Amino acid sequence: MSRWAAVLAGGAGTRFWPLSTGDVPKQMLPLVGRAPLLVQTVARLEGLIAPGQVLIVTGERLAARTRRLLPGLPVENLLIEPRAASTGPALAWATAVAAGRDPSASVLAMHADWFVGDDDAFRASGAQALEVAERHDVLVTVGVVPTRVEVGYGYIIPGDPMNGGARRVARFVEKPDAGRAAGLIQAGALWNSGLFAWTAARFFAETDAVATEIAPHVAALRRGDVAGFFREVTPIAVDLSHFERSRRVAVVSGQFPWDDVGTWGALARVRPRDRDGNVVVGEVATREATGCVLWSEEGPVVVDGVQGLVVVRAHGITLVTTVERAQFLKTLIESLPAHVREPG
């Protein structure tokens, strides 16, 4: 039995606009530390997954840049989707590739754009998830103990205990309001991190059983017709296609600091702040500014007497919004003219 990683590394480049673009989305930026998030993600797997068994799933537009960021990645391990079809089809393809090389393969699936505060603890949780998947023949999700009320995350309600430190999943709750999220946390619910594990055999057994959007097209993958698979498959997230429908799902508790770094405001949780609580990157000057996220790639930015702002200067564009409204950046971008949406 071999263990594989499937790293999802696509994206439209909207969450950290105007710094991120369609050509350089979030995972290709050094948002947390000096290296891009994608590079950090792959490095974090060292000691858990053999380098030759790391699969990267991305799109054609990002393929060349991904190769440059990961020069040690085997060419055949860069899986270039013919079209974006969400995480269910992407992970079905990656799992089929792993199974094609070893029918007894296990897969640890993750996104390329997270903050993880303890790499050793991440590897320990990943190993535990794989062990539970292999021992109990289940799909496994890694839940993270919440540190705050968060309405942008999904929650996992653990059920009956299993051997190996895992529990059955009683229920998933997707993005509750603040009141319900607080109640879930009090009752012991976990954040759904999106770190998953399964054996290839169990994944495709559950695909046949519950993933009706994907199952009819798996035969195309097995005969090597990737283009045909993506042409016909219905886009769907693996959370819905498999985890929320299957009765063979377990959760292990991840003992590592985690954040999906979903907005500019999230940087205040994962980057150092100055004495006034500001995140400052680049040529920035402040006076009586508090709780701001200030990022300049081009020339000086000066802020005075403000609080809770996001100010970003990149690619000839200046974005000014609030930390609270940064979560609505995607809808703002959609309202902009094309030449502003895609700078550079």
Percent of the chain whose pLDDT exceeds 70: 100
Rounded distance between C-alpha atoms, residue 306 and residue 287, angstroms: 9
CA-wise closest residue to 95 among 85, 87, 105: 105
Q: Tens digit of pLDDT for each residue in 133-169? A: 999 999 999 999 999 999 989 999 999 999 889 999 9
Does position 13 have pLDDT exceeding 90, yes or no? no
pTM higher than 0.75 for the full model? yes
pLDDT of residue 164: 84
Average pLDDT over residues 307-316: 97
Q: Domains (ranges, CATH) in the chain? A: 3-259 (3.90.550.10), 264-341 (no CATH)
Widest distance between CA atoms in the chain: 63
Nearest-10 Cα torsion for 61, 66, 71, 76: -70
Rounded distance between C-alpha atoms, residue 168 and residue 181, angstroms: 20
Q: Share the mean pLDDT of the chain.
A: 96
Q: Tens digit of pLDDT for each residue in 95-112? A: 999 999 999 999 999 999
**pLDDT tier, 342 (very low <50, low <70, confident <90, very high otherwise):** confident
**pLDDT tier, 344 (very low <50, low <70, confident <90, very high otherwise):** low
Q: Tens digit of pLDDT for each residue in 37-70? A: 999 999 999 999 999 999 999 999 999 999 999 9
**pLDDT tier, 341 (very low <50, low <70, confident <90, very high otherwise):** confident
